[in-house]
A = this chain, B = another copy of it.
Amino acid sequence: MRQHEALALERAVDILSCLAHPVRLAVVARLERDGAATVSTLCQELDVEQSAMSHHLRHLRDAELVIAERRGRAMRYALADAHVGHIVRDTLAHAAEDD
C-alpha cells in the first residue's frame, strides 16, 4: 500500500517531467485538440526542427503518453489515452485562470 503509493508517485513524476517542456506540452495539447498527426505536420504547426521533434516524440513514447503507427512512410502520432488529455487540459485551464 505504501509501496503502491510510492510507485504511483514515481510514475506521476515521470509523466509530469515529460509534460514539463514547452514543445512536448504543446504536442500533447495539439493532439488533444485536433487529434492524431504526423511528425512533419507537428513540426510545421509548432515550428520545431524535425530532429528535435523526433527526440521529443521519443520521450513522449517512452513515457507512454503517446502512441505511433506507420502511415505509409510517415508516422502518425496520437494520445495514448484520454486521461493524458485530461491532465493537460486541467493544467492549462489552471494556468490560464489565475492571470
| Interface pair B83/A94, CB less than 8 Å apart | yes
Q: A20-B20, A87-B87, A90-B90 are in contact. Are A25 and B12 (CB under 8 A)?
A: yes
How many chain A residues touch B (CB < 8 A): the figure is 35
Which chain B residues border A90 with CB–CB below 8 Å? 86-87, 90
Q: Which applies to chain A's interface (DSSP): helix, strand, loop or mixed?
A: helix
A97 within 8 A of B: yes
| Interface pair B87/A15, CB less than 8 Å apart | no
| Interface pair B16/A19, CB less than 8 Å apart | yes
Which residue from B8, B94, B99 sits with its C-beta under 8 Å from A15? B94
A52 within 8 A of B: no
Q: Min CB distance, A87 to chain B, in Å?
A: 5
| Interface pair A91/B16, CB less than 8 Å apart | yes
Provide a sorted-by-A list of 11 A–B residue pairs whose CB atoms are within 8 angstroms. A7-B96, A7-B99, A8-B92, A9-B29, A11-B96, A11-B99, A13-B20, A16-B19, A17-B20, A86-B94, A87-B91
